[in-house]
């Protein structure tokens, strides 16, 4: 069993489904006003290189609700790579806290922290992967139907969210369609990683440049911002490239039953229309809520002694 939560592909289908079941239980308890104090006395360090609303609030609130405590660390305060090496930061934090959540640009930085830390490292988002979001998405889908009976379609930029959805589908045996421009399709290494996993699980994953082809008959249509953090200089060019991939009423005409998903923040009237984002088919705020519960399940899984989950 891995020490860290860096990628959903590091875990077995059974382990991910156990985390999902615990997330569902924690959601039920939360709504009933119950707060199991499973992480009482434990401390999570949260390192942020990127701005954050959902990741920051849900991890800090999640630790508090489970009886623990979170400490916010900022790059200008810690200076990983300038004041101190990743090795020394990881070794110091391992002496003081019980886990680290890192939200960084470089995926390699999170990998280095995990290599040198004796405590669990959780990937809160990197430029390559967003595994905590994928687990919240899995929980959101599971609240509607059995995930392995669903057809999920991702439309837009082949970014970190798309990468984690591909790996999640591959591990669990889900049906996933990905529609992106040829110039912005998911990187080859993601599909190379997913292919053997999909062979074992029976997952059906395909890519198309045609959003209409991918969306037709889907149960869930998912999109994300066309311009991620650090790509602001490309924003205008990306608007032109991705214009045919906007999730709107016309695109969803061939999937009348489809629910709409977005990990937020959204640029309304760019990748998705407000009509759909705020409409009856939207699961967007369910996804945001489930970040809290999915991450609490992840925190318990990696921070509690093995066998206590």
| Fold designation for 8-130+290-303 | Rossmann fold (3.40.50)
> 263, 287 in Cβ contact below 8 A?
yes
Helix residue spans in the chain (DSSP H): 13-31, 54-65, 75-78, 86-96, 107-116, 131-142, 160-172, 188-201, 211-215, 235-242, 274-277, 284-303
Q: 8-130+290-303 with 145-282: one CATH topology?
A: yes
pLDDT in tens, the chain (309 residues): 899 999 999 999 999 999 999 999 999 999 999 999 999 999 999 999 999 999 999 999 999 999 999 999 999 999 999 999 999 999 999 999 999 999 999 999 999 999 999 999 999 999 999 999 999 999 999 999 999 999 999 999 999 999 999 999 999 999 999 999 999 999 999 999 999 999 999 999 999 999 999 999 999 999 999 987 666 777 788 999 999 999 999 999 999 999 999 999 999 999 999 999 999 999 999 999 999 999 999 999 999 987 566
pTM to 2 decimals? 0.96
Architecture of domain 145-282: 3-Layer(aba) Sandwich (3.40)
Domain ranges across the chain: 8-130+290-303, 145-282
Q: Sign of torsion, CA 108 113 118 121?
A: negative
Residues catalogued as catalytic: 103, 130, 133, 224, 263, 291
């Amino acid at each position: 069993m891995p020490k860290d939560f860096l990628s959903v592909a590091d875990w077995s289908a059974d382990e991910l489904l156990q985390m999902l079941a615990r997330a569902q239980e924690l959601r039920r308890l939360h709504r009933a006003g119950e707060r199991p104090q499973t992480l009482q006395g434990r401390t999570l360090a949260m390192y942020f290189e990127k701005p954050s609303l959902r990741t920051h609030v849900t991890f800090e609130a999640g630790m508090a609700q489970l009886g623990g405590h979170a400490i916010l660390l900022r790059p200008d305060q810690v200076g990983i790579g300038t004041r101190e090496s990743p090795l020394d930061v990881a070794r110091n934090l391992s002496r003081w806290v019980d886990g680290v959540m890192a939200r960084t640009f470089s995926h390699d930085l999170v990998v280095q922290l995990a290599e040198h830390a004796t405590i669990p490292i959780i990937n809160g988002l990197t430029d390559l992967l967003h595994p905590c979001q994928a687990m919240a998405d899995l929980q959101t889908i599971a609240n509607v139907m059995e995930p392995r009976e669903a057809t999920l379609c991702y439309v837009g930029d082949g970014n970190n969210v798309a990468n984690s959805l591909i790996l999640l589908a591959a591990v669990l045996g889900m049906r996933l369609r990905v529609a992106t421009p040829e110039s912005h399709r998911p990187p080859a290494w993601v599909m190379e990683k997913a292919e053997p996993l999909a062979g074992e699980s029976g997952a059906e994953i395909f890519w198309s440049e045609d959003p209409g082809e991918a969306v037709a008959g889907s149960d869930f249509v998912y999109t994300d911002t066309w311009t991620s953090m650090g790509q602001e200089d490309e924003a205008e060019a990306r608007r032109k490239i991705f214009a045919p991939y906007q999730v709107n009423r016309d695109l969803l005409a061939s999937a009348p039953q489809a629910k709409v998903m977005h990990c937020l923040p959204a640029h309304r009237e760019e990748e998705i229309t407000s009509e759909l984002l705020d409409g009856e088919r939207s699961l967007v705020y369910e996804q945001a809520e489930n970040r809290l519960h999915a991450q609490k399940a992840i925190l318990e899984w990696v921070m509690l002694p093995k066998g206590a989950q």
